[in-house]
Structure 1
Amino acid sequence: MTVLPDDGLSLAAEFPDATHEQWRHLVTGVLRRSGRDVPDAEAEHALSTALEDGLRARPLYTARDLAPDPGLPGFPPFVRGGRADGNTAGGWDVRQRHTVAGRGAVPADLENGVTSLWLVVGESAGIPVAALGSALEGVHLDLAPVVLDAGAETGPAAAELLRLYAEQGVAGEAARGNLGADPLGHEARTGRPYDTAPVAELARSCAARHPGLRALTVDALPYHEAGGSAAQELGCSLATGVAYLRDLTAAGLDTVQALGQLEFRYAATADQFLTVAKLRAARRLWARVADVCGAPRAGAQLQHAVTSPVMMTRRDPWVNMLRTTVATLAAGVGGADAVTVLPFDDALGLPDAFARRIARNTSTVLIEESHLTRVIDPAGGSWYVERLTDELAHAAWEFFQEIERAGGQAAGLRSGMVGERLARTWSVRSAKLAKRREPVTGVSEFPHLAEKPVVRERAPEPPSGGLPRVRRDDAFEALRARSDAHLAATGARPRVHLAALGPASAHTGRLAFAANLFQAGGIEPVTDGTFEESGAREVCLCSSDAVYEEQAGAAASALREADAGHVFLAGRPGPYPGVDTYVFAGCDVVAVLSAALDRMGVS
C-alpha cells in the first residue's frame, strides 16, 4: 500500500475523531424528538430493517463489522469470483431464453449482442426436440454456447444437440454450454421424478469428449418462484448440488470431474445488495462443499443469474425494465458468469422484438457504456456487503443442514418439508405486500386504471404440478381482473366517491393517498361533484386529523342520509361515529379492497 507524505493539508486535522457511541447518542436524540424514546443501546436496532431469514440491515456499518476474509478473485473460497480476472475480459455471458422455434428471434439475438442461448425444450412446454435443428438453423455452434432446459426429455434433447454438433463438424473441445439435466429441479416443478441413470452417462460423456460442455444444471429458480427466501434458495441449491455429486461419483467420476459437470442458476432481484450478497455467498458455500470433498481448487461455482420472474408485473409492465436493470447490475456486481434478462413483457406471453432488444441491450449498456466489468468484485470491501454475505451464508448453510437431516433434497421435496418452509416464507411476505410494506410500483402503488393493456401472443405453458409459482402482484392482479370483468360486463368500473373536508391544504395529501389505494383494486375514485352525483355507493372521507375532529361525525351522518352504503375514512382509527372502515398506511389493503368489491357486487 502506498503511503502518501504528510502535506500539512489534512482537512480533518482540527476535528476530533467521532466515535460510534457519539453517533448512537445523536441518533437517540433524533428518535426522542420524533416520539420514540429508546435507550442509546437500542438506537441502531430501532432504525434497522428486518430482512427475510432473520437478517437485519442496520443503518450504519463500520470496520467493527468484521466478516471472514473473502480471499482473492479466482482462489478459494471464491467469494470474490471464480476467475482471477472476474468479468473484466469482455463482461459476462449474455444469455437469452427461448421457448419457441422460428420467429427470427434466435438469429436476431445473436447478431445483436447475445453470446449464448438458453433453449426450453419439450413437446408441450417449449421447442419440440425434433425442431431443435430448425431453432438453431444458421447458428455456428462452435461460437454460440447452447444451454438446454428439457426436463424429462433431457436425454433425447441432449442426443439431438450432440448430433447437431457432429453434423456441423464441431470438435469435441469446441462444444460449450450445458445439456441441462436437472432431475430434482424437474421434480420440484412437476412433482414427478424422472430416470437419472442417463444423467450419469451424459456426465461421463461430457467429461471424456466435451470438456467445455457440462451435463447438469442446479436450478434454484423453482424455489425462488415458489416464494422462497434468498437463504432457502441457496440451501436448496446446495442440497441439490450435493445430491448430484453423490450420484456422479457413485457412477465413476472422480470429485474434480463431478464438480466440473455442474452449473448453478439463481434469481437476481431488484434488491440489489441482497442479490450481490447471495451470489457471493453461493460461491463461498459451494467452495466449502468442494473443500469437504477434498477438491478445494475445483470449487469455483459457475453461476447463471436470471432476472427474477417473481418481481415481474402484468400491469404497467414497462416498469419491469427498471426492475430488470437493477437486477442485472446486481448480478454483474455479484460476479455472475452468465446473465439472462427476462424481457419486460415476459409475464404476458411471448416477448416481441422490441422487448427482446431492450432485454439484451440492458447487459450491453452495463458492460459497454457503464463499464461495470472494468472492476473485479466492485462490492468487495464494503462493510455492509461483506457482512450481509457472511450472515446470508450462515442462514443458507443452516437450511441446507436441515434438508440434509431430512434425508436430502429429494426426500425434502417428497415429504413436503421444503414446500412447507417455502410456503411459510411466502405467507409472511404476502402479508407485507398486502399492506404495501413492500410496494409494487404500477400495481399496489401508482396504478393507472386507464392504462392500455399490453397484449402478447400466448407462450407455452410452463411445467406444473409441483411447487407453486408466485408473483408479487398476484393478490392485486386478482382484484384488477375482477374490476376488468365488471367493466366489460357493465361498461363502467366500480366507483368510490372521495369526499374532501376542509381546505385543500388539509385534504390534498389524504385525497391522493385514498385515490392511489382504491385504484390498486380497480376501483375508480370520483372527486368531482357531490356524492349523489358520483354514481358511487361508497364514500371515503379525506382530510386532516384536526378537521376530522370537527367534521367527520357530521359528514358521515349526512352521507348515511344520502344513502351511502359504506363510509371509509382516510386516516388512523378514531372516535368518529358513522365510519365503517379506516384506510391508512400499513392497513391490509388487499382485504379492504376485496371486501369493497364484494359489497359492490363485483364478482
Structure 2
Amino acid sequence: MTVQPDRLRPDPGFPAATREEWRRLAAAVLRRSGAEAGSPEEALAYTTYDGVVVRPLYDPGDLPVDPGLPGFAPYVRGGRPVSGAEPGWDVRQRHAHPDPATSREAVLADLENGVTSLWLVLGDDGLDPAALPEVLDGVLLDLAPVVLDAGARTAEAAATYLRLAAPKGAAPGGNLGADPIGLRARTGATAPLDLPALAGLAAEHGLRAITIDATPYHDAGGADAEELGCSIATGVAYLRVLTDAGLTEREAFEQIAFRYAATADQFLTIAKFRAARRLWARVAEACGVHDGAGQVQHAVTSSAMMTARDPWVNMLRTTLACFAAGVGGADAVTVQPFDARLGLPDAFARRIARNTHALLVEEAGVARVIDPAGGSWYVERLTADLAGRAWEWFQEIERAGGAEAALDRLIPERLAATWERRSRDIAHRAAPLTGVSEFPNLDERLPVREPAPRPAGGGLPRVHYARGFEDLRDRADRAPTRPAVFLATIGPVAAHTARASFAANLFQAGGLATVTGGTGTDPAEIAAAFRQAGTTVACLCSSDALYAEHASAVAAALRGAGAKRVWLAGRGRHDGVDATVHAGCDALAALNTTFDDLGVAP
C-alpha cells in the first residue's frame, strides 16, 4: 500500500529542537549532579590523546568541507566505488608459525573457509623465506593474493615468491612488503634494499612492492594522528626514492600500500581510516596526481589492546575493531586470534578470527552499504579534526628531516609522551580493561599455546595496555598461597555493599584475593575476623556517615590485630587510616604498595 507523504509529516505544532534548548536541559541535569563547568559542552566533552576535542553534541554546522564520493578524490568515503554485489573487504589472515608444515596446513584451512588473502611473516619473527615453496604448496597463487612481511630478508623472500608465482601469475592485490623505515622503527635495524628495482619487479607481476606498516607507532603507545602522520611521512620518503630513480609520480603511488591498527574505539578507528585516505590524497594532489591515487589500506586489529588475561574478551575487542575498519573503508582486514598474547594461535582461534569477518559481512551485512558513517555530523567532524592533527604532525616530521631522521629522537619522544598519558589513564582505570583492570576472574584457566618467536628488539618499544595489571597477576599467581586483603565491612549490608564491591574489584585486578569480615560496628568483632583472614592488610568499607562514627576505632582495632596498612574505600581522612582507594585513584600504585606490604616476591 502506498503511504501518502502527508501521513509521514510531523505535527506542524511540534517544536523544533535547538542547541540552546539542549543546553538548558543539559545544564539542569548537570546542576543536579553537582558538576561545575562553564557550559554543558565543556562539562561533557573530552579530549583525545591527539588533542582532538570530542563534544557531546553535533549539528549540521559541524560538517567540514564536502568529503566527495566513494572512489573519487579526496577518497574520504572510500578508495574505490563499491557496488552492493561485491563481497566487502578482503579477509586477510596472518601466518607466522615457523614450522612450514604447520603453516601450510593452516593456510589451506583458512583459504578453504573464507579467507581471501594471506599475510606471511618471514624471517626471524616467523617462517624462513626458503620454506615458501612448501608453505604455498597447493595454494592457487593466481587467485589468492599474498602479502609478504620479511623485514631484513625482503629481497630474498620476494625473489622466492615471484619464482613460485611466475608460471601462472600472481593474484592482484599482493604485496612484496618492502618497508625499510618501518623495519628500523620496529627493530632498530637497517637493511639495504633497492626499492626502485623491487618496484620494477612488482609492476611486472601486477603487484605492489611497498607496505608502509604504521603499527609500530601504534604499538609504541602512540595515538591515531601520530600513527597517521608517521605513515604519511614514510610514504613521502618512499615517493622521493622512487621518483628520483625515474618512476613517474603515478607509478610510484601505484607501488605503495599502508597498514594501520584498528582498535575497539570504533568511532576513532572509523575516522582514522577515512582521515588516512584524505591525507594521502592531499599528498597525491601536491604531486600532480589528481585521480586514481586512492590509498590502499590494510587494517589489523591492535596488538597493544590485546590481553593475556581473560583472553576470551579479545573476541569482543577484535569484533569491534574489525567492524570499525570495515565501516571506515579498509580494503583488507586482519583479525588477530584471541589468544595472540599467549603464543601461536591454534586452529580454533584462527577459525574464530576468520568467522568474525563472516559474521559481519555475511550475517550483519556491514559491507552492503558504502561508507555507512558518511554524513554523520560527529564522524565527519572527527575525521576532519583527526586529519588536521595528523597533517600538523607530518609537517613537524618533515621539518625534522623526514621520517628516517625523525626516528632518531622526535618520533620516540613524542610517542613516549603519549604512552605516559595513556598509561596514567590505565593505571587510574579511566581507560578500563575488561577482565583485567575491571571484573577480573581469579579462577580463570588460561589456554596453553605453543610459544611464539620472540620479536626482535632494538626499535620502538612494544607496549600492551594491560601489562601493568597482568604483571601483578603473574606475581600473585607465583606466591605459594594467593595473597589477600581483608575487607572490613562496617554496618549493615546496604551501607557497605557498594564500596566493598568496588574494593574487591580493585584488589582482585592485581590478583589479590579479598576476604570479607564484619557485619556490624564492633571493632573487636571486626579485628577478630581480621586475625582469622591471615593477612596484614585491611580496607574499611562502609558509608561516609558510618566512617565518621566508627572508622578510627575500627582502624585502631585492626592495628592492634597486626594490620600493617589500613585502606579506606572512599574519600576522607580518619585517624589510623593510611590511605584511600576510590574511583579515579591510581589503582596500580595502590596495588604495588599492597604487594610490598604483604611481602609478595617480585
In the TM superposition, what is the alpha-carbon distance from 1:79 to its structure 2 partner?
0.3
Displacement of 1:427 in angstroms is 0.3
Q: Is the 8 A contact 1:49 1:57 kept in 2?
A: yes
Match of 2:467 in 1: 474
The DSSP-based 3-state class of the residue aligned with 1:106 is: helix
> Is 1:454 matched with 2:452?
no
Q: 2 CA distance for matches of 1:88 and 1:65?
A: 33
Structure 1 CA distance, aligned partners of 2:460 and 2:429? 25
Shift of 1:176: 4.2
Which residue in the other structure is 1:71 paired with?
68
2:108 equivalent to 1:107 = yes
Are residue 247 (structure 1) and residue 241 (structure 2) matched? yes
TM-score of the pair, normalised by structure 2: 0.95
Tell me, yes or no, if structure 1 residue 202 matches structure 2 residue 198: yes
8 A contact 1:165–1:175 mirrored in 2: no
Name the amino acid aligned to 1:276.
Answer: I
For residue 56 of structure 1, what is the aligned residue in structure 2?
53
The equivalent of 2:522 in structure 1 is none
Q: Deviations over 1:270-325 (max 9, x none)?
A: 00000000000000000000000000213200000000001100000000000000
Structure 1 match to 2:9: 10
Shift of 1:347: 0.8
The answer for the alignment partner of 2:270 in structure 1 is: 276
Which residue number in structure 2 is paired with residue 497 of structure 1? 486
Partner of 1:32: 31
- Could you list the per-position Cα deviations for residues 107-144 of structure 1 after superposition, in whole angstroms to 9, with x for gaps in the alignment? 1101000000000011x211001111111111110111
Q: Following superposition, which runs of at least 4 residues in structure 1 exceed 4 angstroms of deviation?
A: none
Letter in 2 for 1:431: R
Q: Corresponding residue for 1:336?
A: 330
Say if 1:498 and 1:87 are closer, same or farther in 2 by CA, change over 3 A.
farther
Report deviation, 1:482.
1.1
Q: How does 1:89-488 map to 2 (within 5 A)?
A: 89-100=86-97, 101-103=100-102, 104-122=105-123, 124-166=124-166, 169-171=167-169, 174=171, 176-197=173-194, 199-207=195-203, 209-211=204-206, 213-413=207-407, 415-486=408-479
| C-alpha separation in 2, matches of 1:503 and 1:263 | 63
For the residue of structure 1 that corresponds to 2:585, the secondary structure is: coil
Query: Where do 1:563-578 residues align within 5 Å?
Result: 563-572=562-571, 574-578=572-576
Equivalent-residue separation in structure 2 for 1:291 and 1:9 (angstroms): 45
User: Which 10-residue stretch deviates more, 229-238 or 453-462?
Assistant: 453-462
Render the CA deviation track for 1:162-210: whole Å, top value 9, x for unaligned: 11112xx2136x454000000000000111211132x210101222x11
Structure 1 residue aligned with 2:550: 551
State the alpha-carbon separation in 2 of the partners of residues 227 and 88 from structure 1.
39
- Measured in 2, the distance between the counterparts of 1:290 and 1:541 equals 62
Match of 1:593 in 2: 591
Give the whole-Å Cα distance in 1 for the aligned partners of 2:250 and 2:84: 23
Report the number of matched residues: 585
Aligned alpha-carbon RMSD (Å): 1.3
C-alpha displacement at 1:33, in angstroms? 1.7
Q: CA deviation at 1:15?
A: 2.1
Query: Equivalent pairs: percent with the same residue?
Result: 61
In 2, the alpha carbon distance for the partners of 1:278 and 1:18 equals: 31
Partner of 2:525: none
Q: Distance in 1 between matches of 2:290 and 2:300?
A: 27
For the residues of structure 2 that align with 1:37 and 1:91, how far apart are their CA atoms?
A: 47
Q: Deviations over 1:442-498 (max 9, x none)?
A: 000001111112211011122221000001101111111111121xxx2x1111111
**Is the contact made by 2:92 and 2:119 (CA closer than 8 Å) also made in structure 1?**
yes
Deviation (angstroms), 1:66: 2.1
Give the letter for the 1:274 counterpart. L
Q: Tell me the SS of whatever aligns to 2:184.
A: helix
CA apart distance, 1:88:
5.5
Further displaced range: 389-398 or 82-91: 82-91
- Secondary structure at the aligned position of 2:300 is classed as strand
> Matches of 2:292 and 2:15 in 1, distance apart?
49
Residues 158 and 179, structure 1, Cα contact 8 Å, conserved in 2: yes
Tell me how far apart the structure 2 counterparts of residues 469 and 12 of structure 1 sit (CA, whole Å).
Answer: 58
**Long gaps (5+) in structure 1:** none
Q: State the distance in 2 between where 1:525 and 1:221 align.
A: 39
1:368 aligned counterpart, secondary structure: helix
- 2:559 matches 1:560: yes
Letter in 2 for 1:382: S
**Structure 2: which 5+ runs fail to align?**
519-528
Counterpart AA for 1:137: D
